[in-house]
Amino acid sequence: MKHRSKRDALNVNVRVREPGESAPFGHLIDLSMSGLSVSGQGAPLSADVHTIELVLPWSMHGVDTVTLEVERRWLDYTDTGRWHAGYLILHCPDQAVLALEHLSASFADSG
């Protein structure tokens, strides 16, 4: 999936945060039904398995946030101090699959 980090970003701001946190640690830059890429500043999540929330810019199929269990697969730093990380999606709740499919299709159409 790392090759997907070179596609143009979708012009939708999907913030990514840890559950229970109000501030995001990054934002979504790519998505498929099996994985996602996140960009941020500061410290990224460790390479362990984590639960994250995608904060949708509007309600999709009745869902405002999508909670996912993910595992980091790669991490790159840019010259500007940002990082880009790729995560494998290990679990997505059934009620969030339609919203994730909608977002994933939007990213597929962008590049």
Query: Side chain identity at 29, as an amino acid letter?
Result: I
pLDDT at 3: 46
CA distance 106 to 10: 8
Q: Which residue has the higher pLDDT, 32 or 105?
A: 32
Q: What is the pTM of this model?
A: 0.82
pLDDT at 7 over 70: no
Instruction: Report the distance separating Cα 63 and Cα 83, nearest Å.
Output: 28
Q: What is the pLDDT of residue 109?
A: 55
Cα-based distances in Å from 52 to 7, 47, 78, 79, 94: 23, 13, 23, 26, 16
Which one-letter amino acid corresponds to residue 88?
L
Confidence (pLDDT) at 52: 96
User: How far apart (Å, rounded) are the C-alpha atoms in residues 92 and 68?
Assistant: 5
Q: Which residues contact 21 (CB under 8 A, 6 or more apart)?
A: none
Each residue's pLDDT tens digit, 48-107 = 889 999 999 888 888 899 999 999 999 999 999 899 999 999 999 988 898 888 887 766
Please give the CATH superfamily to which domain 2-109 belongs: predicted glycosyltransferase like domains (2.40.10.220)
φ/ψ of 17, rounded to 5, equals -140, 165
- For the chain, state the CA radius of gyration: 13
Domain boundaries, the chain: 2-109
Both structure tokens of 104: 């994933």
What pLDDT, on a 0 to 100 scale, did the predictor assign at position 1? 42
Query: Residue 33 — very low, low, confident or very high, per pLDDT cuts 50/70/90?
Result: confident
CA gap 7, 49 in Å, rounded:
25
